[in-house]
Structure 1
């Protein structure tokens, strides 16, 4: 069984800090990723095996770079078909454009607004199933998509249960998912496992878009933590292995099931940079997996060897369609402008995006904004000084590169918030509920500064006296105009106080704000990470 997760439409090799993956055991940082190399690696790993299945654990589409995102990820579906993906679970990003769009991606049909992109090739849906056992349609009470999938391989039945994280509504725009409920992962998986066994299926694999974090190299399990640890302890012992995702981490873990027996839990990083190879031995007499003979290994998808010709053809076809817009120059930078290594620190790029959004909405008729805040999860790629495949000179930024930073096609809004509410939003960067990352540091626009103490109790980490706007202390009872994207303004990612904002004014598209800012301020230097001060 070959598995990967969180591909996010990365047809071309990732750039910036996502371009390389290394190991504590191998200090060399290796260039990895790209659909052409992913398909080649999968082909190599399939050689010499009796039976091979290729599976994924969600976020195959959504938050995608320009080449796929411009076409609502139809190119990625074609790519997945060409590399022979058998089945995947849904992830939270499969819902970025709502349930109707996810159903279109599965079943086919032209996009309701953009239509068909290729005259002679109408989109006919994916030839692999997306599984959504814990996503329930409110009207019918049934799963939105198939909950399970059974494959008979060499005379043995293998059942797959696919799920996204129960907390999907907290990290996804609400407007597109009002028609569905997201159920508990453990209860859903255990019920689905019982149903599969009633159908005579004993070899059972869970594809779960939820995961953990570990401190070791890409093939280790060093201090694994996160939601998957508790979930794995409660999943029915009838489930033989768990393929996970969401955290963009690589790991090969053995975690105890409720009976105390070791069970493999794996993850393959993100963006097609790693493939997990799991060898499942099945007893033909019982039809069940021989647990003590299961083994797994993570393989880097290195950019060496031949590129897969089918993937090259997919990329070339869609690049030809996108080239006029993709290669348009929108500005230039003096150096790399990057995200933080994790989302728990201030970053140049999130601050830049906040600056761009403030500039786009500061005029009274555009929102009258005084402050802009940007959620770190909405910043998806670095702005890199080196030239890219678009052929532009070093430092020049194309529309495609800017699009990759903010690929959600989001809108901006400006709202009224009091100084006290702004302080509370800053406190909400720190969260110990276990439903999201413990720390999500917002990008803050120029002029806003504050200090915090990471060691203080959650809810009391911001120093209120340190919050200043243009050098003046923020007044708790004064009203300020604050801009954010619609996801954050609706309380997404646990920033629930944002939803209390009033007097909403729309401020245009987020990508337009960024490209306009780049054009107006080029050559643009990194804005710095001195707006937030961490106290000892």
Structure 2
């Protein structure tokens, strides 16, 4: 029975693991899920769901069978069309006559109603078609999905015909028990909407019709994976094996409690070890679904009128067929793809939210396609290939892929519309509540040193939150990771018809969708210097992560770290030998985002949720005007 009670404060995405809430497993027609050795898999024949409709275009000349693969990645629960830059892609360039410089031409894309329609249209005429994904289907989701533990997104994926996906790092946001519930179904007894999350609000959650694959995620000290390592799909005699993996570094970028008791193994070693397992089952056609990716190179665009060349943001189809490439230094997928067993025919990747369709040489020096379809359902990749009935393998030279825009000029898929409409009604009481007002946009646009107006606001909100005060110890510095700030606060936005400048809970949640706990801890001054250095060194050397800091704390940054003596609290230099009470979120406190110095903290105390602190601060400081960016100076 639907449950529509009002929701009070947004619940922790780590609830299952951190608070010991056990997911209720459902019976599985393919055998019990949840404890799997590396060889455990799912296998489906040609009757699996609905992918063989339409006029057949699967010819078999010379024993070759046409097969279509449709893929996407990093959907992140974006059921409704994403807004702002997250709902656009670069499709061209032109010269702005006012400035004489090139500007991006963009197209509005995304929205699961349109994605489902585009996928259905793409399948037309293909007898043998499969739809797969490369992780982060859920997690860091808009409120419409997150308020219901991402159950709406799983239902939406069922409706659009997803066959299999790798797990991504965000699949662990609520802990692996909750991930297993996403596969198996069942409900959480969350008190009919306690903490603004409501499991089974509309009906009994059925779980995923598709296969979640986690080949490199094992229980510590065992060879048992938490979900199947691979799945075998049968298409009119053809057999294709899919191996699914998340990035090995997942524990470094998720909340520690979400992956406690798990081990994440090397991507190349894991996949290569499964090749003979699949071969013994007569499977030679193998595709890896990998939640790790790359970054396209900048694009050089030439103004056709003047012949002048400029460096511009790459168009969605620039890498690699459009002339671009993947930057080796910042593209982990390249090293992985170059070392995967030559028997693996294709890599569908994700994680970096970038679009590319590239050939990467395998160890036998043959081209192997590596793809990624941006994020948020804005693109999907269509790959056409030929399967040799004689060899039982994919003809590598036949593999051709392209990224296609999920434009919004097609009919909405009615099944997806029904899902959105149902949950939109259920979420209204909390989503539409106005928290406070802003007098202008509060953005993530940084100064040269990396300080953001919105980062200042969030850090100040965390410092002001009373939930982390314990035994008379009140935090004096707050640190916020920039990757946890997911959207700007727009003055003009009015999703529920509220006045310009009004900030709703929905808008606040879109900014901070992870529902982390705030944590207070004691660090030494040296630890603080180490944190500031780790922003630009170690695992963050290639892509700097500048922590956002609270009012009263300031320093000068250089490309190698803070200037010694410049780190001050209320004008007084930080003493490296002294102790300071700080507040951060549980993701950073566990050493996430490459900040191991946080794990040196003592007297660790968990407070409330970061979204509650943010909401309370907006209510208490309305109307809010961003202050000058003077906390972090210098350059990165």
Structure 2 counterpart of 1:107, from 157, 175, 184 = 184
Classify 1:489/1:195 alpha carbon distance in 2 versus 1 (closer, same or farther; 3 Å): same
SS for the counterpart of 1:281 is: strand
Partners in 2 of 1:509 and 1:36 — Cα distance? 32
**3-state SS in 2 of match to 1:325:** helix
Alpha-carbon contact 2:145-2:152 (below 8 Å) kept? yes
Q: Which residue of 1 aligns with 2:5?
A: none
Instruction: Output the CA distance in 1 between the equivalents of 2:71 and 2:497.
Output: 34
Rate the CA distance shift 1:206–1:424 in 2: closer, same or farther, 3 A: same
Residue 261 of structure 2 is matched in structure 1 by 179
Bigger drift between 344-353 and 443-452 goes to 344-353
Structure 2 gap ranges (5+): 1-68, 95-103, 193-197, 298-313
Of the three residues 58, 73, 90, the one matched with 1:22 is: 90
Q: Which of 514, 517, 520 is 1:414 aligned to?
A: 520
User: Which of the numbers 468, 475, 478 marks the counterpart of 1:369?
Assistant: 475
* 2:287 equivalent in structure 1: 205
Q: Secondary structure at the match of 2:223?
A: coil
- The residue aligned with 1:397 is 503
Deviation, 1:478, is: 2.3
In the TM superposition, what is the alpha-carbon distance from 1:148 to its structure 2 partner? 0.6
Q: Distance in 2 between matches of 1:252 and 1:527?
A: 43
Q: Distance in 2 between matches of 1:332 and 1:287?
A: 63
Shift in Å, 1:528: 4.5
8 Å CA contact retained: 1:367, 1:507: no
Q: What is the distance in 2 between the residues matched to 1:153 and 1:346?
A: 53
**Aligned-residue CA RMSD in angstroms?**
2.2
Pairwise mapping of residues 312-331 of structure 1 onto structure 2 (< 5 A)? 312-331=417-436
Closer, same or farther: CA 89–437 of 1 in aligned 2, 3 Å: farther
Cα separation, partners in 2 of 1:433 and 1:505, compared to 1, 3 Å: closer
Offset from partner CA, 1:170-216 (integer Å, 9 cap, x none): 11112232222111000111111221111111111100001111123
Structure-2 separation of matches of 1:178 and 1:342: 37
**Paired residue for 1:294, among 394, 399, 407?**
399
SS of 1:45's equivalent in the other structure is helix
Deviation at 1:121, TM superposition (A): 2.2
SS at structure 1 position matched to 2:608: strand
Instruction: Tell me the equivalent position of 1:305.
Output: 410
Structure 2: how far apart are the matches of 1:341 and 1:51? 48
- The 8 Å contact of residues 361 and 414 in structure 1, kept in 2 or not, is answered as no
| Partner Cα separation in structure 2 for residue 363 and residue 268 of structure 1 | 40
Distance 2:531 2:179 in 1: 31
Q: What is the match of residue 333 of structure 1?
A: 438
Which residue in 1 is equivalent to 2:59? none
Judged with a 3 Å threshold, the aligned counterparts in structure 2 of structure 1 residues 126 and 527 are, in CA distance, closer, same or farther, namely: farther
Give 1:161's aligned residue. Answer: 243
Q: Distance in 1 between matches of 2:628 and 2:495?
A: 28
**Which is worse superposed, 54-63 or 436-445?**
436-445
1:367 Cα shift?
Answer: 4.8
Indicate which of 437, 444, 453 corresponds to 2:558.
Answer: 453
TM-score, structure 2 length as denominator? 0.80
Aligned counterparts, 1:216-295, within 5 A: 216-219=314-317, 220-221=319-320, 222-224=324-326, 225=328, 226-295=331-400
Query: How much does 1:439 deviate?
Result: 1.5
- TM-score, normalising length: structure 1: 0.94
Q: Which moved more, 1:485-494 or 1:201-210?
A: 485-494
Shift of residue 346 of structure 1? 3.0
- Give the secondary structure class of the aligned counterpart of 1:53: strand
